[in-house]
Amino acid sequence: MPGISREEVAHLAKLARLELKGEELDHFAGQLDDIIGAVAAVSDVADEDVPPTSHPLPLTNVMRPDEVRPSLTAQQALSGAPAQEQQRFKVPQILGEEA
C-alpha cells in the first residue's frame, strides 16, 4: 500500500506555503491517499517491458535557434499581478526565509 500520511501532507503543505487547518489535513490526506492508490494501480499492470516515461511522444532534440522574439510589454506582463510598484511585481514580506 503506497499511501500518504497526515504528517507528509502537513510537510508538503509547508513546502507549498499553504496554511491548512487540522480538519483540512485529515480531509486531504484521505483524498491524496485515494489518488496515489489509483495511480499505483498502473504499476500493477505495467510489467518490466513498459519503461517509465516522462513524455508521450518519442521526440528528442527539439530546439530553437538563439533568436530574439518579441516579449510582452511590462504593462501586459503586470496586467494580471495582484499588486505592482515601480513596474515590478509586488509581493508580501518574505518571512523567515533567506534570499
Partner 1 sequence: MTVTELVSYDEALATYDPVMGLEVHVELGTRTKMFCGCSTELGADANSQVCPTCLGLPGALPVVNASGVESAIRIGLALHCEIAEWCRFARKNYFYPDMPKNFQTSQYDEPIAFNGYLDVQLEDGEVFRVEIERAHMEEDTGKSTHVGGATGRIHGASHSLLDYNRAGIPLIEIVTKPIEGAGERAPEVAKAYVAELRELIKALGVSEARMEQGQMRCDVNLSLRPKGQKKFGTRSETKNVNSLRSVERAARFEVQRHAAVLSSGGTIVQETRHFHEEDGSTTSGRVKEEAEDYRYFPEPDLVPVAPSREWVEELRATLPEPPRERRNRLREEWGITEHEMQSVLNAGAVDLIVATIEAGADAASARKWWMGELARSANEAGVEPAALTITPADVARISALVAEGSLNDKLARQTIEGVLAGEGTPDEVVEKRGLAVVSDEGALGTAVDEAIAGNPAIADKIRGGKVAAAGALVGAVMKATRGQADAGRVKELILEKLGVEG
Cell of 27: 480531509
Is residue 55 a contact partner of residue 61, using CB atoms and an 8 Å limit?
no
How many binding residues for partner 1 (CB under 8 A)?
38
By CB under 8 A, is residue 19 in contact with partner 1? Answer: no
Q: Report if residue 21 touches partner 1, rule: CB under 8 A.
A: no
Phi, psi of 15 (to 5 degrees): -60, -35
Q: Quick one: DSSP state of residue 80?
A: T
Q: Which is nearer to partner 1, 8 or 24 (CB)?
A: 8
Residues that bind partner 1 (CB under 8 A): 15-17, 54-55, 57, 59-74, 77-78, 80, 85-94, 97-99
